[in-house]
Structure 1
Amino acid sequence: MPSFHTDRYDLPLSTSSAHAAERYQVGVDLLLSLWPGAAEALDEAIAADPDFALALAARARLQLIDNQAGAAREAIARAQRLVERRGTERERSHVQVLQRLIAGESAQALQDALAHADRWPRDILILGLPLGAFGLLAFSGRADHDQARVDLCERHARHFAADDWWFLTYRGWSLGENGEVVRGRTLTERALELRRHNVNAAHALTHVLHESGDSQAAQALIAGWLPEYPHHGTLHGHIAWHGALVALEQGDIQGALDLYQRFVAPAASTAGPLNRVSDNASFLWRLGLYGHEVPADLWQATAASASGLFQQPGLAFADVHMALIAAATGDRQALEERVAGLEARLCDGTLSAGPVVPLLCRALLAFADEDYDGCARLLEPLRTDVARIGGSGAQREVIEDTLLVALLRGGEHTRAGALLDERLHRRPSTRDRHWRASLAS
């Protein structure tokens, strides 16, 4: 069937239904801004044209984000059947990339997504797959994934208008994560101005402000924007987690705990498994690192919430945060089993992030055992490789914080001072200034 409609990037859509095309575009924009309502819009597109393969593919992508893996597999399989019968070359490639992603074939999905973007750079649902903290590049095991995201955005920048809210979001995010915080802030602020209900822009700006060391601006952004975002939204708890980290940075421990208990803790969180595990584990670990008592019931609730999740080692970001939970709760058996599984995958060549992952897990156990010298010996050589686990700079900072505190508690003040000087040069931090001043006194 010939295409009668296009999306907002002038890419042909194989549907003869104007209503299906319009609802598809609305649904994709909501999906890519992570604002609630995408599922309903895409379902309306499918109801208007049950043979509209791209609408089914977008629905499958959203189901994967929402951790409905079985439904995603069914939807993408149906999309594949339909696109072969009624779809353009671009649409067939689009569906194939998503099929590989949903099947867990991450390395091939990344390769295919990059090739697809070279041919159809304005197909933003596919161009977006390698981008972001949990994107295919971040979870590729590459140490240079921050630079790779910038390179991808810059390569295709000419294809997007200066006021494209989606592209501004991810270009600004990528630049900020790669150290270009001034330019990153300008772009993400503009993206949020253009589309206020753009969770990814608010999230990206929060990260850029973190990397800038501007905790006051981050606090104002979160306090002013988060109430507009429905509590059940995918990243609501994660952006609240950023707010809790800002409160910790400013020494407002009660404020940090209040935000944590209201929005981040397992009983309150509406996040998916990966954010729920990582946000809870890293917040509680940092609370202890910074010298504050962590109520045992908070760790117990986090461990209970994580029970049964990420049991098979191999997703490095999850492995490290599961190790945080095991180390903090004294579950040595679970941690050692995870390390053994990671080392087995390392031996058979299926651990994309490499040896940094089991070594990080061992370092966390050493810290929990108060073997601060041993922890520091493991962590110091890994600093340039920590990026291999994926996630963002703000998320991975918990590892460098652990190294710093291990050095301080181990009496290695000269090495701690050098690390603090480097950190303060890279990112101004009230806490680091206090630590540096205490070393100098």
Structure 2
Amino acid sequence: MVRLDSRGLPLSATSDLAAERYREGVDLLLSAWPGADVAFDAAIAADPDFALAHAARARLHAIRVEMPAAHARIATAAEIVARHGTERERSHVDILSLTIHGQSTQALQRAVAHADAWPRDAVILGLPLGAFGLFAFSGMADHDQARVDLCERHARHFDAEDWWFLNYRGWSHAENGAVAHGRDLTQRSHELRRTNANAVHALSHAMFEDGSGEDADRLISGWLPEYDRRGTLHGHIAWHASLAALEQGDTARALAVYEAHVQPSVSAGLPLNVVTDTVSFLWRMRAYGREVPAGLWEAAAAYAAPLYTKAGFPFADIHMAMLDAATGDAAAVERRAAALTALVEAGTLAAGPVVPAICRAALAFAEADFAGCVRLLEPLAAEAVRIGGSGAQREIVQDTLLVALMRSGQAGKARDLLDRRLHRRPSPRDAAWRAQLAA
């Protein structure tokens, strides 16, 4: 008897219960919903030689940065699949192993090739997608387009109502500039599976990109109470609500959301999200001329202190530099920037010189050297896409440049930058800045 996964691919499971629990776990994994660990553990208990269940459990450990457990579990999956796995399952496990062991360039190449052979293998097709996917952190300048191309190449293989594929196809289009189309697709995904944090996340991004801050706030405030605080995206989705409040000029609400859901003491999110969300929110507050309450920077610094101590992860590097700059540790910023520059010169930092430039520009901004910030950042600002993440996350770089232009008396350049931004995404905050420049 051939047992199948949720999208019709054969499984080398010897138990109906194991296959059922695996399908359940994958759907929970793909929707960032609590309970996947329980489902995968049940699949393994029902069939200890079910390699894909071990591999999925390893993937979940890695997402939670439980690396010793991830390494042990993927090793078990590799040993089992070598004995009695199909070609597809062996490739699936190999790619997850590359990803878990940090061999991202090879993992990306293999995942794209795997998708050409088995496009409906959602766990593998999903690896290059998303704000923290293999494309985003590849250092590519065109990773937004690459995600669209990958989705469109395989769209014919998915049902029109496949909630998972609709979501990532829509997210990819929204990030790449086709915001209305992307929002429609993610909205449909959300309607098909409400218990899907990834759909609410993607829809929040689409609403950010089209300037619908009030829509995003209503969406999140109405849905977030349904999502367990243990969910990996709980704090990050709340971060989107805090940004929406800042967009509308409601600083009190933005802070209330931050303190209730985003700050390190209350968030159960992934360390990368907790660090980058806290730093980027507090940095925006400062850049927008809002007062940051006492203790918030210090709490963020205490949480981040043991993390990302080694330079070389661009998305984390720029946020750690902003944190050090904001808390007055200029030496730490320079150490990180120097290490990054050495990696650039050695040809081992795919994102290139924009990364140390952003770090040093953040320090100049924090020290009120706004002209110096502009000199560092302006020539390379267009390359910020290489650090990865989403448009909403990378906007912090452009906001830093914009405010530095305004505060250094370069109103003409600030207006030009606003013109380009307003053409893409109308924003109440940008409109207020325009009015300020016109005064």
**TM-score normalised by the shorter chain: which range applies?**
over 0.9
Q: Structure 2: 5+ residue runs without aligned partners?
A: none
Of 195, 214, 220, the match for 1:222: 220
Q: What does residue range 348-359 of structure 1 map to in structure 2 within 5 Å? A: 348-359=346-357
Residues matched between the structures, number = 439
> How big is the shift at 1:87?
0.6
1:259 equivalent in structure 2: 257
2:198 is aligned to: 200
Alignment of 1:362-377 (within 5 A): 362-377=360-375
Amino acid at match of 1:55: A
Partner of 1:245: 243
The letter for the 2-side match of 1:34 is A
Is the 8 Å Cα contact of residues 143 and 384 (structure 1) preserved in structure 2?
Answer: no
- Deviations 1:414-438 (CA, angstroms, capped at 9, x unpaired): 1111111111111000011111112
Name the residue aligned to 2:295: 297
Q: CA deviation at 1:295?
A: 2.5
2:382 alignment counterpart: 384
Name the stretch that deviates more: 418-427 or 194-203: 418-427
Alpha-carbon distance in structure 1 between the residues aligned to 2:345 and 2:84: 45
CA displacement at 1:86 relative to structure 2: 1.2
Quote the Cα distance in structure 2 between the aligned partners of 1:341 and 1:378. 17
- Report the Cα offset of residue 8 of structure 1: 2.1
Q: Tell me, what secondary structure is at the counterpart of 2:298?
A: helix
Provide, for residues 126-156 of structure 1, a one-character-per-residue CA deviation record: whole Å limited to 9, x for no partner. 0000000000000000010000000000000
Residue aligning to 2:141 = 143
Q: Tell me which residue corresponds to 2:127.
A: 129
**Contact 2:354/2:381 (<8 A) preserved:** no
Q: Secondary structure at the match of 2:295?
A: helix
* 1:379 shift after superposition: 1.4
| Distance in structure 2 (CA, Å) of the matches to 1:289 and 1:133 | 24
The list of structure 1 runs, each at least 4 consecutive aligned residues, that deviate by more than 2 angstroms after superposition, is none
1:322 to 320, 323, 330: 320
Q: CA deviation at 1:383?
A: 2.3
Separation of aligned partners in 2, 1:300 and 1:154: 45
* Deviation (angstroms), 1:291: 0.7
For 1:245, give the aligned amino acid. Answer: L
Structure 1 residue 347, shift from structure 2 partner: 2.1
Q: TM-score, normalised by structure 1?
A: 0.98
Deviation at 1:251, TM superposition (A): 1.2
- SS of corresponding position for 1:266: coil
2:19 maps to what in 1?
Answer: 21
> Residue type of the partner of 2:73?
A
2:338 aligned partner? 340
C-alpha distance in structure 2 between counterparts of 1:368 and 1:198, whole Å: 38
Tell me the distance in 1 between the aligned counterparts of 2:53 and 2:82: 14
Q: Which residue of 2 aligns with 1:46?
A: 44
Q: In structure 2, what is the Cα distance between the partners aligned to 1:193 and 1:294?
A: 37
**Which residue is 2:155 aligned to?**
157
How far, CA to CA, are the matches of 1:260 and 1:355 in structure 2?
32
> TM-score, normalised to structure 2's length?
0.99
Q: 1:4 Cα deviation (Å)?
A: 2.5
Secondary structure in 2 matching 1:322: helix
What secondary structure is seen at the aligned counterpart in 1 of 2:119? coil
Separation in 1 of the partners of 2:166 and 2:7?
Answer: 15
Separation of aligned partners in 2, 1:79 and 1:23: 17
- Deviations 1:177-202 (Å, cap 9, x if unpaired)? 00101100100000000000011000
Name the amino acid aligned to 2:95.
V
Instruction: Name the stretch that deviates more: 411-420 or 70-79.
Output: 411-420
Distance in 2, matches of 1:99 and 1:263, equals 33
Q: Secondary structure, in 3 states, of the residue corresponding to 1:312? A: coil
Q: CA deviation at 1:346?
A: 1.5
| Contact 1:222/1:240 (8 A) holds in 2 | yes
Q: Paired residue for 1:179, among 177, 180, 198?
A: 177
Tell me the distance in 2 between the aligned counterparts of 1:435 and 1:347: 38
Q: 2:281 maps to what in 1?
A: 283
